[in-house]
Amino acid sequence: MTGNYPVEPVKLVVAVLCPDSDSLARSVEGLRSHRGDIDHQGAARPFNLTDYYEEEMGAKLERSILSLDRLASPGELVDLKHECIELERSLAASSGQRAVNLDPGYLDHGKLVLASLKAAGQKIYLARGVYADLVGRYGGGRYRPFEWTFPDFSAGLYDEELAAIRERYLEQLRG
């Protein structure tokens, strides 16, 4: 069976984890150069609910949520993940240690998905080593987390931002 099957576009997002505003600014500029305008840049919030990245990136990390202006096919998540990996490499210290961690994903009416290179029971393989990780399902005015969702997302730190991004997404679909 062949054919072109249209799919509703999604809103691409990137969760940027970094130690300082300079690293964040360089990440934003790198994303803009690859993907165009960014229509949401959330406040940098302390990333202190887990020490997972501390050994690699230091103890005083912050996470900011960005969204890209242009709507995209959900199939673009694989390319975006690989673009983010290359951007992380280009921003790395001379030792090769990452200065930023970029977690790309997307949201739509009903879900929040992040890309991952790690397999797990809830993740669905897409292509080129990338898995889709369903981290939130929309209901009751917010993206509700699952037991595997990152602690900072589960804690609701970004609920207002994600709601604003979702509203922009819905406006774009209507427009």
Residue 130 CA, distance from chain mean position: 13
Quick check: is 111 in a domain? yes
Q: Would you say residue 78 lies in a domain?
A: yes
Q: Tell me whether residue 81 is in a domain.
A: yes
Helix (H) or strand (E) holding 67: strand 62-68
Question: Would you say residue 4 lies in a domain?
Answer: no
Residue 17 is assigned to a structural domain of this protein:
yes
Q: Are 41 and 64 in contact (CB under 8 A)?
A: yes
Overall domain count for the chain? 1
Look at residue 120 and give its three-state secondary structure.
coil
pLDDT reported for residue 96: 78
Domain encompassing residue 131 = 11-174
* Antiparallel, parallel or unpaired: β 124-127 and 101-107: unpaired
Tell me what pLDDT residue 71 has: 98
pLDDT at 93: 80
CATH of the domain at 84: 3.30.70.260
Domain assignment present for residue 24? The answer is: yes
- The pLDDT score that the predictor gives to residue 39 is 98
* Residue 128 within any structural domain of the chain: yes
156 is a domain residue: yes
Mean per-residue pLDDT pooled into runs of 10, the chain (175 residues): 80 97 96 97 91 83 97 97 97 86 97 97 97 97 96 95 98 96
Q: How far apart, in whole angstroms, are the C-alpha atoms of residue 50 and residue 91? A: 23
Confidence at residue 54, expressed as pLDDT on a 0 to 100 scale: 78
pLDDT at 3: 64
Tokens 């009903």, residue?
A: 110
